[in-house]
Amino acid sequence: MTSNRYQRQIGLVNQVGLESLCLHLTGDLDMIISTLAQINQMGACQLSSGGSVSIDVDPKSSLIGLMHSWQLPTKKPTKWSDVVETLGPTHGLSRSAPSKHNHIHFRTRENWDQNPSSNLQLTVWNGRAVISDFELIFDSPVQRKSTLIDAPIEVAACAVALQQILLQKGLIRSKTVSDRWLSLSACVENVSPEDAVDLFSSELGPITATNLPDNSGSLLRIRVPLDQTSPELLRLLDHSCLDSETLIPEGWLSLSPIPVSVVDGVVFDDSPHLPSYLESAAVVVLGAGGLGSWAAPLFAQGVKLENLQLTLIDGDDSVDEHNLNRQVLYTEDDIGLPKATQAASRMHNLFGSNPKILGIQSRLESNHVHEMEITDELKTISLESLFEYNINQDSNDEKIKSALDGMELGLACLDNMNSRTLFNRACIIRESRFVNAGSQAFEGIVEIFDSNVCMVCRYGEDAARSREIISCQEVGTRPVASIVTTTAWTGAMQSALALLILAEDRELINGDWHHSLVFNKGNVQPKSVVRLPFVNGECIGHV
Ligand SMILES: [Zn+2]
């Protein structure tokens, strides 16, 4: 594996420092697996750079029944020895921790009474999660039950734990570099830019040309592809990091949508009881990249599999190597293949076959949301290509319309605002729930829109219609800096909020919980989803 895998994150973190981290993980086995998976995705704790991970787990013990083993970059692991075999060569996975290791302890209902002293504790119970630097005490005994959001809350908590390590160790860059590349430039005398582009060709990709400042000729530029660029050259752009910080200056922080109150180290827990799972759900996940590849499987884990209808729609025709640092549903075997169909087939493989989990490789177009309109583009294409277009696209069009018509809730996991707004309209027309999410660098947001808020009245006309694509693909778009801690938190919390709002619609829960959360370098805070002050009228007239 080349370091292109980390291309989207090396402008965010000190990758060398990340690789040399040493961690010691104890407690809940599922949360250890999820943390290991995220460590592996971002290339942290590498033996070759002096880093490692220690876990006190018997390699002979089984993984059957655990929630998070699907996140590992291997087919179907069944024993801890499979985990050691997959991750050991890179991260060590020894059973004893040298003293320099940072110790993170995960406490859940599975190991409630086991509390070794550690640098950091993650406590997860009944859909609540707290990160603290001390052992939480409860004002009364906690009745610990499984909940429909256990899987996403645990993933989000693991992401915050790792984020706290990045902050504490001063590994976060002071400025975000969203992309970097090597250019080959040439001055060509006495040739105009238009002629220069015709005269020269490059095996490396398209050539651009501009006038030289004194109009004496052209300046040609070729972007050298990442796989032909030395990582040492890309690292020349490294710069300073932020000073060491902490997410928990007061010693603790609540991470879950359900508020938790801690006074003098004691938790007062009177928040609502949550169901173990939903009997059924029908959802459309639009976008199978950084967010969708977390949100779709984590949502699925909160619903009875045989009654789940989940349609993944994504237009990307191939998984790229630099998607693998955070897009958890894909492995190296998927490089070059379409995202939506690979994601659906991985979900069948992981959770069991269900023909109602469907992947469609297509973009969402206005004719899916409204009635089909004949566009100018369609009028001018040849009869032959129209025939071919119709066969392939008609079948996808019908599947997309049918999924939209049957959905109770839409999860927007997209890379541009205009498609989010179109999807929002599809949800408003059908009176379906809409859960929006977005992430970039170390910032994430998740928000449930009620019937009185749409993308236009929330973000303004110009922002909501923006077609700029903030993409994980390399060419022709504005690339976005991304790291797994942010995408895992955002996708996980998006699925948690989606499960909670459907549970509330079924009157399975009552009581206060946050309908929107924001993530900033690991700091998790609630936020209200409100209209801009000058917007009036019904949302159906806005989008
Ligand atoms: Zn509106």
Mean pLDDT for the stretch of residues 432-445:
95
DSSP letter assigned to residue 35: H
Confidence of residue 476 (pLDDT cuts 50, 70, 90): very low
d(C-alpha 321, C-alpha 16), whole Å: 20
How many Å lie between the centroid of ligand 1 and the Cα of residue 531? Answer: 7
14-28 as b/e: b if 16+ CB within 10 A: bbebbbbbbbbbbbb
pLDDT-wise least confident of 39-43, 337-341, 469-473: 469-473
Q: Where in the chain is the domain with CATH 3.40.50.720?
A: 281-541
pLDDT for the residue numbered 20? 95
User: Based on C-alpha coordinates, what's the Rg of the chain?
Assistant: 24
With tokens 């801890």, the residue in question is 80
**CA-CA distance, 296 to 340, in Å (whole number)?**
11
Tell how far the Cα of 532 is from the centroid of ligand 1, in angstroms.
Answer: 9
Long-range contacts (CB closer than 8 Å, 24 or more residues apart) made by 393-400: 393/362, 396/360, 396/361, 396/362, 397/362, 397/367, 397/368, 397/372, 399/311, 399/358, 399/360, 400/311, 400/313, 400/360, 400/362, 400/364, 400/368
Q: CA-to-CA distance for 175 and 88, rounded, in angstroms? A: 33
Nearest of 340, 505, 535, 528 to residue 446 by alpha carbon: 528
Which neighbouring-strand residues pair with 25? 55, 104
List, for residues 121-162, the tens digit of each pLDDT value: 999 999 999 999 999 999 988 888 999 999 999 999 999 999
- Burial (CB count <10 Å: 0-12, 13-18, 19+), residue 238: middle
- Right CATH number for 281-541 from 3.40.50.720, 3.50.50.60, 3.30.565.10, 2.60.40.10? 3.40.50.720
Output the CA–CA distances (angstroms, integers) from residue 141 to 111, 441, 469, in the order listed. Answer: 15, 40, 50
Nearest to 484 by CA among 245, 289, 344, 234: 289
How far away, in angstroms, is 426 Cα from ligand 1 center?
Answer: 13
Least reliable range by pLDDT among 171-185, 246-260, 355-369 = 171-185
Ligand 1: centre distance to CA 461 (Å): 10
Please write the tens of the pLDDT for every residue from 168-209: 999 999 988 877 778 888 999 999 999 998 898 888 878 889
pLDDT tens digits, one per residue of 262-321? 999 899 887 678 999 999 999 999 999 989 999 999 999 999 999 999 999 999 888 888
Cα 418 to middle of ligand 1, angstroms = 14
Condensed to tens digits (0 to 9), the pLDDT of residues 76-90 reads 789 999 999 999 999
DSSP 315: -
Distance 257 CA to ligand 1 centre (A): 24
Determine the CATH number of domain 15-174+242-268: 3.40.50
Residue among 81, 74, 102 nearest 17 (CA): 102
Cα–Cα distance measured from residue 517 to residue 74, given in angstroms and rounded to the nearest whole number: 32
Nearest to 90 by CA among 67, 74, 70: 74
What pLDDT is stored for residue 6 in this prediction?
A: 84
Name the pLDDT band for 388 (thresholds 50, 70, 90).
low
